[in-house]
Amino acid sequence: MFHLLKTNGKARRGQLQTAHGIIETPFFMPIATKGAVKTLSSADMENLGASILLSNTYHLLLRPGLDAMKTFGGLHAFMNWQKPILTDSGGYQVFSLSRINKTTEEGVKFQSHIDGSYVFLTPELSMDMQKAIGSDIAMQFDDVAAGTSTRERYEDAMERSLRWAKRSKEAFRASAGATLSSGHRTIAAVPYDSIAPASALFGIVQGGIYEDLRSRSIKGLVDIGFDGYAIGGLSVGEPREDMFRMVKHCSDQLPQDKPRYFMGGGMPEEIVENVKAGVDMFDCVLPSRNARHGTLFVWNQDPSTIDFDNVDPLNPTWYSCLRITNEKCQFDLSPIDVFCDCETCKTTTRAYVRHLFSVQEILALRLASIHNLRFYLRLMEELRKWSGG
Amino acid sequence: MFHLLKTNGKARRGQLQTAHGIIETPFFMPIATKGAVKTLSSADMENLGASILLSNTYHLLLRPGLDAMKTFGGLHAFMNWQKPILTDSGGYQVFSLSRINKTTEEGVKFQSHIDGSYVFLTPELSMDMQKAIGSDIAMQFDDVAAGTSTRERYEDAMERSLRWAKRSKEAFRASAGATLSSGHRTIAAVPYDSIAPASALFGIVQGGIYEDLRSRSIKGLVDIGFDGYAIGGLSVGEPREDMFRMVKHCSDQLPQDKPRYFMGGGMPEEIVENVKAGVDMFDCVLPSRNARHGTLFVWNQDPSTIDFDNVDPLNPTWYSCLRITNEKCQFDLSPIDVFCDCETCKTTTRAYVRHLFSVQEILALRLASIHNLRFYLRLMEELRKWSGG
């Protein structure tokens, strides 16, 4: 499934094979939480150069639900996206979003943040839902400890995550080969007579900021055996140095021949540093969320000239964050970013985008999202060149 | 400026020449109130087949303001829209939107609905602002009586509108030929070294639902002489029969060689009826506003097969309004409209658009807006074929 093509130090340039095509690594996954990247269509994501999207089992389980997703024949058909999809297992969201949750060895009982109804999410249900989604890369269901937990809680969560990893794999295997019924029509001339559930399953390394817990987690997961490994439970408020240290620690111990996915982070300089530590896959809400709040990533230099060997992981000089709502943008008739090739930068000015934010036009959110996502996708293009071409 | 090509009964098929190109009549103008059609970009409007946009002097005067618009070199450059723009004069908005307003012979003093600041809008300021916008078709500043007014108030408003029509024309002429300075950059490979203010000015017929007042208004306006004539003060809650009667009355008396514009209306069947009465130009918030509220226009038959000679002006059978949020759409994997050629209908399903509305994704508003605007623009294409090809 994973082919390592070249390395640059510990950084890896590779290819990930999925049922919906090959993805060049390292890559970034825009987040289509509820079946759409906020403000953007699947065609927009294609135009931006996204090679894979991430969607959330938790959100799709609540709406439209498991049965609906089966009826639709999976998320690819539902949202008309032909490239790969990775799904989070719901482990993180039951803690961060649900109103009330209670963890037992069996699973997590939680109250929907939407209508207050009770749902009991288990490794088995998570796998069922990810299969119904037709995910190309499914994640194990894990027990996620809050960022402020004690070592004991981190250890407990890590151990339970290992047990749930085993159950996830068994449930995943049991349903492998099954073909979901498809009730949907053919759209955009791409026939979907059935969805191919030849998806991969990733384990998730837990253990907080404790090297020994992380090592035990990795050993346990590798013993079970997964198609790839994610580093979870970071980017939750810990100091950056701890995060970098943990990613390096994990990346060094994870199998060379499997893809490595750092979950949920982060700022551009963090992605660069973690690529240099040997991580292949990233996702983050930052580009979209910042865009909707009017904070835009701007290159300080042509991105093809960035010397990634010598960038500061804590104080990057190669990009800036522009507050587009700032008064200084009022009469600025230059594009948001002179080095950017996105539709927003090619067709609008800072003054216009600022005006749209000022008068609360929805188009502002779209134009900003397009730009910020393109910034991240372009960063990955440059990092792929740097790590092996 | 206006060339009548053919007629079908009283319906007219023509061409309107503007500084930004020829527009085929009859046509519909999507509304870019604050410099953007809600949820959509200028490129989107081009893709939808819009041949002209309408923008609002009132809104643009408040934000970004007269000086800013001059700095930007006009609205075409600001919003990167190369086709014609018509601007409303602000006469309607000072009554419908401003918090406090006081009309004197000089103009209307009103309090901004945004920040409470006082603005004194006169025919002269309206013309200045429409010039700064670089409008291809400017509207006279008019005194608009509320829909529930007495005959005396309608008469007063109509008479004042005539006096303001004269002042509008004088102010418009005085600034004609002036070239606004341009500080903007070149975008999308279209140079804007100066904006050509060779715009047209339209008079607005007022007089409520009184034939004699409307006739006096028309005579007064024609005596002053305008490039085109709008029928104002309707679609404000009066019975449809009154509206149709007034439009027919006005259209019959307006000059044959000038374009006729029915302001602010309306539903598809009203547009059809008013085209048949001899109206050439339309605008309406309905397609966009309905879209954002989940009400979608759907053809009941291939629109090229509609027999416009025999449609009921009050109870149309050739289209329906679909409530996309209705439960019946939950598993409906057909497109919103099988006869529609818009991006939404070509790439999504009712079930998906309903889901996006359910989970409050902004993309829902965009997909719905694209469809409804395409419906109106397509209707005009069919009406152009019917009225002369």
Average of per-residue pLDDT across B103-131: 93
What is the tens place of the pLDDT at every residue in A60-100?
999 999 999 999 999 999 999 999 999 999 999 988 887 77
| Global ipTM | 0.94
How far CA B314 is from CA of A216, B267, B311, in Å, comes to 75, 10, 9
* B366:A41 CB<8 A: yes
Question: Among all chains, which residue has been given the structure tokens 């073909």?
Answer: A179
Mean pLDDT of the region A278-293: 98
**Global confidence as pTM:** 0.94
* Cβ–Cβ below 8 Å for A80 and B352: yes
Q: Which two tokens stand for residue B194?
A: 């100066």
The residues, any chain, with a CB within 8 Å of residue A289's CB and separated by 6 or more, are: none
Is B357 part of the contact surface with chain A (CB cutoff 8 Å)? no
Superfamily of domain A2-284: Queuine tRNA-ribosyltransferase-like (3.20.20.105)
Going by C-beta distance under 8 Å and a sequence separation of 6 or more, which residues neighbour residue B375? B268, B287, B297, B298, B299, B319, B337, B340, B342
For CA atoms A248, A254, A255, A258, the dihedral sign is: negative
Which has the minimum average pLDDT: A191-205, B66-80, B285-299?
Answer: A191-205
**Which structure tokens are listed for B113?**
């609905």
What digits encode the pLDDT tens for the residues A189-234?
A: 223 334 444 689 999 999 999 999 999 999 999 999 999 999 999 9
Q: Is pLDDT of A375 > 70? A: yes
pLDDT band at B175 (very low <50, low <70, confident <90, very high): low
Q: Which of A62, A348, A354, A367 to mutate to test the interface with B (most CBs of B within 10 A)?
A: A348
Structure confidence at residue B190 as a pLDDT band (50, 70, 90)? very low
Q: Say yes or no to pLDDT of A185 above 70.
A: no
Q: Compute the distance between CA of residue B56 and CA of residue B65 in angstroms, rounded to an integer.
A: 12
Contact B356 A78 (CB under 8 A): no
* Contact residues, B window 318-347, toward A, CB-based 8 Å cutoff: 330-331, 333-335, 343, 346-347
A41: helix, strand or coil: coil
Residues of A in contact with B365 (CB under 8 A): 362
What are the CA-CA distances from residue A213 to residues A158, A208, A209, B88, B300 (Å)?
A: 7, 8, 8, 68, 64
Domain parsing of chain B, residue ranges: 2-284, 291-386
- Band (pLDDT 50/70/90 cuts) for residue A39 is very high
